[in-house]
Amino acid sequence: MTRRKYRSQAGIILDILEVLAREGPQPATRLMYTANLPYNRLRETLLRLVDEGLVEETEDRHYRITEKGREALRVLRDARRVLETLGYKF
């Protein structure tokens, strides 16, 4: 039996934003595989990110990171560095 790696909500958001920043607009199914999330968890998180203005949905149902999302990504990366330096998992 394989153990699943736990990711915090912040870690999941960081992963989604990193994928969108690195690979550009993605349909939900592709994002599901690249961010390694089950569809229901991805959909719930994407809806929240869209509501918060960090991600937007395009007319062709792709998701892309916004400028606000890029700023959040910078903050989350900094937070991860600090926490990992202190020995915490992000």
What is the average pLDDT value for the chain, to the nearest integer?
93
In a domain, 23, yes or no: yes
The CATH number that applies at residue 33 is 1.10.10.10
Amino acid at 59: E
Q: Which two tokens stand for residue 65?
A: 């990171």
In a domain, 62, yes or no: yes
Vertex 32: Cα angle to 31 and 34 (nearest 5): 60
In a domain, 90, yes or no: no
In a domain, 4, yes or no: no
Residues lower than pLDDT 70 in the chain: 1-5
Q: What's the DSSP call for residue 5? A: P
In a domain, 88, yes or no: no
pLDDT recorded at residue 4: 52
User: What are the residues whose beta carbons fall under 8 Å from the beta carbon of 23, sequence distance 6 or more?
Assistant: 34
In a domain, 2, yes or no: no
Cα 49 from Cα 65, distance rounded (Å): 9
Query: For 21-42, how does the pLDDT look when each residue is reduced to its tens digit (9 = 90+)?
Result: 999 999 999 999 999 999 999 9
Strand partners, 62: 27
In which domain, by residue range, is 29 found? Answer: 9-81
Number of domains present in the structure of the chain: 1
In a domain, 42, yes or no: yes
Question: What does pTM read for this prediction?
Answer: 0.87
In a domain, 1, yes or no: no
